[in-house]
Amino acid sequence: MAQEKKLVESITSRDEDFAQWYTDVVKKAELTGYTSVKGCMVFKPAGYAIWENIRNELDRRFKETGVENVYLPMFIPESLLNKEKDHVEGFAPEVAWVTHGGLAELQERMCVRPTSETLFCDLYQKDIHSYRDLPKIYNQWCSVVRWEKTTRPFLRSREFLWQEGHTAHASAEEAEARTEQMLHLYADFLEDFLAIPVIRGRKTEKEKFAGAEATYTIESLMHDGKALQSGTSHNFGDGFARAFGIQFADKDNQLKYVHQTSWGMTTRLIGAIIMVHGDDSGLVLPPKVAPTQCVVIPIRQKAEGVMEKSEEINTALLAAGIRSKVDASDRSPGWKFADQEMRGFPMRIEIGPKDVERGECVLVRRDTREKIQIRIEDAAEGAQKLLEKIQKDMFERALAFREAHTYTAEDYDSFRDIADHKPGFIRAFWCGDEACEDQIKADTTATSRCMAFGDDEAPEGSRCVCCGKPAKKLVYWGKAY
């Protein structure tokens, strides 16, 4: 029992030190490991399996909207990167450069892609000639490199995994429709698959993506009250097309520039899962994304019938489409329970000699630790229903947490007081002046997260929370990762 207790206590309490708790969970659940490459991490099987489930589900949803996957080079010649001035300036501090090939200095240095807009533009300039070539709805799954000064597993690393969608359209209306479509796809994915509620909205001019006309975002709230930008979708208009000369002959036989979009999600979603759902015992995975949804734990497994019934239950679970396994290791049941909870498996099934005699087993929820006695022959059906309920309940709890930690500030004193003492989102009116954004950030470290769809209008007579001038928008503010 001492060993079992130590396993749980080795994770720091969230309320004691949230940052250390996060690191403890990542390490103890064996999601990642540190490497000899500073600022980069290795994905261990448990962590990569979560990313595979995210990737596979997103890819399925993408393809339902007509997306095709491609793969482009990881190197970008400096001359190509420099074709779009705003874009280059936005990424310059984070770019990693290749200057030599073997022992020879390159005639032109190349950056390791921080993002691939310029490469896609180069491709589109060669491939798009007529309106019949449009639209191009492409996506690539890859890694990118950004030379971050401060790194943290999943949230910020110098190399990370993501998908980046890049599309080209004949009209501004088509591009805007695709931009919003992908933003809503992301939002639905987080809420349905990851059980994470989000705020959908538009970024301010100051916070939008370098080179974009408009950036849309989904913002989620972590357990420590900080916001996490969880996905973005950008409308580029025809700015990149003009810089790269991407023109097509339209139906009226006139040359026109294409309108482009870009949208992406990264492995920081795994960090979001940890920080939204985890507890002091470790990881808590929503059933839909969990690589292992249920673990069957035999108690006194050498007793007659225990292993036989454990395997029987597991076979029924697998047949029902539940990702399950039997923990037949020689560890004690208590150690196995603690390990299952720490790794975040949504449910376990306990079965011992007395259960076998009664023809029953026990379903145990990871999120609430509720125990449910059930007939062995009903275990698979019961587990399916319980997993559906766990998924729904986890979303509802996260939503209730966000609503309880969303505040409204009427004036600057109340804004600063909330920012100092009540972690979460702050709803406050804004005049639209970038100077007020800068002032709020300087005074509180809070930044504008988004102007939420359907909740962004400032009624007549409302005033900017910072300067007191007439307000133009209602903005969600918050301290963020």
What mean pLDDT is predicted for residues 60-80?
Answer: 97
Express each pLDDT in 247-263 by its tens digit: 999 999 999 999 999 99
Inside any domain, residue 284: no
**Range of lowest pLDDT (78-92, 174-188, 350-364):** 78-92
Asked if residue 3 is part of any domain, the answer here is no
173 and 322 share one domain: no
Overall pTM surpassing 0.85 (yes/no): yes
- Residue 37 in domain: yes
286 in a domain, yes or no?
no
Predicted confidence band of residue 130 (pLDDT cuts 50, 70, 90):
very high
Q: How far apart are CA 424 and CA 224, in angstroms?
A: 8
Domain count along the chain: 3
Predicted confidence (pLDDT) at residue 286 exceeds the cutoff of 90: yes
Phi and psi, residue 93, nearest 5°: -65, -15
- Please determine, for residue 146, whether its predicted confidence score (pLDDT) is greater than 90: yes
According to the model, what pLDDT value does residue 31 have? 98
pLDDT category of residue 9 using cuts at 50, 70 and 90:
low
Those residues with Cβ within 8 angstroms of residue 92's Cβ, 6 or more apart along the chain or in another chain: none
Same domain, 300 and 271: no
Q: Do 90 and 142 fall within a single domain?
A: yes
Residue at 283 is within a domain: no
Q: Vertex 151, ends 146 and 154: CA angle to 5°?
A: 85
More confident residue, 86 or 480: 480
Number of H helices, E strands in the chain: 15, 23
Mean of pLDDT values over 171-196: 98
Domain CATH code at residue 454: 3.30.110.30
Question: Of 215, 244, 277, which residue constitutes the final position of a domain?
Answer: 277
Give the model's pLDDT for residue 93: 86
- Is the pLDDT at 475 greater than 80, yes or no? yes
Which of 354, 387, 420 finishes a domain? 387
Mean pLDDT for 224-240 is: 97
221 and 349 in a single domain? The answer is no
Q: Is the pLDDT of residue 8 over 60?
A: no
Lowest average pLDDT, out of 10-14, 57-61, 440-444, goes to 10-14
219 and 141 within one domain? yes
DSSP per-residue letters across 195-221: ----EEEE--TTTSPTT-SEEEEEEEE
For the chain, give the mean pLDDT.
95
**Low-confidence winner among 25-39, 41-55, 72-86, 424-438 (lowest mean pLDDT):** 72-86
Q: What is the mean pLDDT of residues 405-415?
A: 98
Q: Is residue 401 part of a domain?
A: no
> 343: domain CATH number?
3.40.50.800
Q: How far apart are CA 31 and CA 271, in angstroms?
A: 10
- For residues 364 and 443, state if they share a domain: no
The answer on 320 and 190 residing in a single domain is no
Residues 64 and 151 in one domain: yes
Residues 307-326: tens digit of each pLDDT? 999 999 999 999 999 999 99
CA distance 127 to 184: 29
* Domain residue limits at 355: 294-387
pLDDT tens digit sequence for 324-347: 999 999 999 999 999 999 999 999
- In which band, very low, low, confident or very high, does the pLDDT at 399 lie, cut at 50, 70 and 90? very high
73 Cβ contact list (under 8 Å, min separation 6): 113, 119
Same domain, yes or no, for 265 and 336?
no
Q: How far is C-alpha 377 from the geometric centre of its chain's CA atoms?
A: 38
- Does 4 score more than 80 pLDDT? no
Q: Which amino acid is at 380?
A: A
470: in domain: yes
pLDDT of res. 176: 98
Percentage of the chain exceeding pLDDT 90: 94
Same domain for 304 and 220:
no
Q: Domain boundary at 387, 416, 440, which?
A: 387
In a shared domain, residues 142 and 231: yes
Q: What is the mean pLDDT of residues 212-241?
A: 97
Instruction: Report the relative pairing of strands 255-257 and 136-145 from DSSP bridges.
Output: unpaired
| Nearest residue to 192 (alpha-carbon basis) of 54, 68, 365, 364 | 54
Q: Is the pLDDT of residue 2 over 90?
A: no
For the segment 180-205, the average pLDDT, to the nearest whole number, is 98
> CATH code at 232?
3.30.930.10
Instruction: Let me know whether 328 and 201 are in one domain.
Output: no
Say if 6 falls within a structural domain. Answer: no
